[in-house]
Amino acid sequence: MTEGFVSLVGAGPWDPELLTLAARDRLARADVVIVDYLVNPAVLLHCPPHTEVLQRVRGPHVGPGAPKLAQAQVNELMVARAKAGLYVVRLKGGDPMMFGRGAEEAQYLARHQVKFEFVPGVSSPIAAPQTAGIPITHRDHTPSVSFVSGYEAYEKAGLTVAWNHLANSAGTLVLMMSVKNARTNAQRLVDAGRDPSTPAAVVRWGTRGIQQTVVGTLGDLADRVAAAGIRPPAVMIVGDVVTLRERIQWFEQRPLFGRRVVVTRAARQAGGLVNLLAAEGADAVVFPCLDFAPAAADQQAALDQALRSFAPGGAGPDFAGVIVSSPNGVEALFEALARAQLDVRIFAGKLVAAIGTGTAERLIERGLRPDIVPDRARAEGLIQALRDRQVLGRAWLQIRADEGRELLGQAIAKAGGQLTLVVGYQTVRPAVPGLLLASLQPVDEGGEGYDAICFASGRTARHFLETTGEVLGDERARAHLARAKVIAIGPVTADAITALGIRVDAVATEQTEAGLRDAVLKLFATPSP
């Protein structure tokens, strides 16, 4: 039996881009992941399909059907899974050694002769003040910084915080887990000698597009936090460095700041749009509603045989060329060429058509430059392009997914041609972590809600309703969706979404990821006074 192992991994403060390369590597190899509730569920998309995900969660963040694991259960599960020869990732928010139980868990593993390692992560008391425009150190303001627990658990264990020392230090104070005790902790510092006029701030959900920052003084901060309705998780910063926020805040100035935007593309394809939205300040949520699987054996055989028709002496239709419908179709094409022991030379003297710039770019990356790329990335655009080239009525091979529109084949047949349609890959509905489902519920139901959702196909919209409906019920799922703005990548997708009974609020002008981003920006643009 393979010897088991446990990695105690820091996932960072929330932003999935702050996940370290080391952490991503561990997740990609995990058999089991035991995850805390302050970890962005999007990082779990790095896990392979077989990974068992267990949630160490509490309170309103518990996903539907998710087990509430006590710390003792977490310890026992790590040991049991590791001793069964599995690779376990214990995934913790921030850094596992910064006010977490990483060291305690390591001690438990050591007592049970289980090998382990620590993988550091970006910690929220450093990241949250930065994204709020508050430097925790500055040569003109403070020579030191102290990280302090603002939670009474340490005092219950007999580890009293040295408030007198902290109150009289010259450095910045960063108090963790301090929303509930903000008033008490501020008063302790004032009672110990800290000036009540000392600048102070609380930052909730640091590094997220829904980050909240409240600024005041030690004397009035608790009242401001209560008035703003700040909930955990948050950090409290005390010191003159807070005043620098007025001049160097940057994170909250971006146009989509405060907006949660759901991206429903396949996990492996969502990164581009997520990064574009995040760069504009949005809290981009990866909710994959599509995944891809290889075509069935008979479908692969049909594609291989069709490609052999292009080779010299090949039997079959005299194809004018090949039509590739998507970037995934490009990969299917080249996998088939390899299986059939062929290469791109079989397309010499033939036409290669790509539906969409993304498909064209993927073909070029693989060494095959398309001859035809329609202005409109849909069947209507390709039909017109083929008509303009006077080749619509010829024999064509099309590689696409297992589902699609029949418009192209009908137009080619009407023009006197023939379309041989082969399935290059299948689309499926992926499983979505329960924690991610829970986070999309409205604030009044314990989640964070969402302001907008982007769909790149009618199928992703259908899968979104199916996935959320299975957990929430169809009526509630549709009610939640009705609260948000719906953006479609193009008119065909918009029509498919409308057919599902979903209102469409915006349609991208360009059928690209940048086009979706621009549509979201325009939708939430502040009206001119």
Which domains, from first to last, does the chain contain? 5-122 (3.40.1010.10), 126-253 (3.30.950.10), 260-290+430-523 (3.40.50.10090), 293-428 (3.40.50.10090)
pLDDT mean over 410-428: 93
pLDDT digit string (tens) for 213-227?
999 999 999 999 999
Cβ atoms of 451 and 506 closer than 8 Å: no
Distance CA 488, CA 456 (A): 6
Render pLDDT for 484-529 as a digit per residue (tens, 0 to 9).
Answer: 999 999 898 999 999 999 999 999 998 888 999 999 999 998 553 3
- Residue type at 338 in one-letter notation: A
179-188, 413-422, 435-444, range with the lowest pLDDT: 435-444
Q: Give me the pLDDT at residue 62, please.
A: 38
Q: Please give the pLDDT value at position 17.
A: 87
206 within 8 A of 128, measured Cβ to Cβ = yes
- Tell me the pLDDT tens digit for each residue of 360-396: 999 999 999 999 999 877 888 999 999 999 999 999 9
> Does the pLDDT at position 339 exceed 50?
yes
Q: What is the mean pLDDT of residues 44-60?
A: 75
Helix ranges (H only) for 30-141 are 71-83, 102-111, 124-131
Whether the per-residue pLDDT at 124 is higher than 90: the answer is yes
Task: Examine the pLDDT at 59 and tell me if it is beyond 70.
Answer: no
Nearest one of 467, 438, 496, 477 to 290, comparing CA atoms: 467
N-terminal to C-terminal alpha carbon distance within the chain: 70
Whether the Cβ atoms of residue 223 and residue 182 lie closer than 8 Å to each other: no
3-state secondary structure of 487: strand
- Max intra-chain CA distance, the chain: 92
* 3-state DSSP of 371-415: CECCCCCCHHHHHHHHHHCCCCCCEEEEEEECCCCCHHHHHHHHC
The b/e string for 357-390 (b: 16+ C-beta within 10 A; e otherwise) is ebbbebbeeeebebebbbebbbbbbbbebbeeee
Strand partners, 138: 142
Instruction: Give the dihedral sign, CA 67/72/73/75.
Output: positive
Best-predicted range by mean pLDDT (154-158, 270-274, 403-407, 411-415): 411-415
Those residues with Cβ within 8 angstroms of residue 22's Cβ, 6 or more apart along the chain or in another chain: 9, 119
pLDDT over 50 at 61, yes or no: no
Model confidence at 158: pLDDT above 60: no
pTM here? 0.76
Residue-wise pLDDT for 160-214, tens only, equals 788 898 898 879 999 998 788 899 999 999 999 999 999 999 999 999 999 999 9
If you ran DSSP here, which 8-state letter would residue 2 be given? Answer: P
| CB atoms inside a 10 Å sphere around CB 447 | 18
Helix axes 379-388, 407-414, angle to 10 degrees: 20
pLDDT digits (tens, 9 = 90+) for 70-119: 889 999 999 999 999 999 999 999 999 998 899 999 999 999 999 999 99
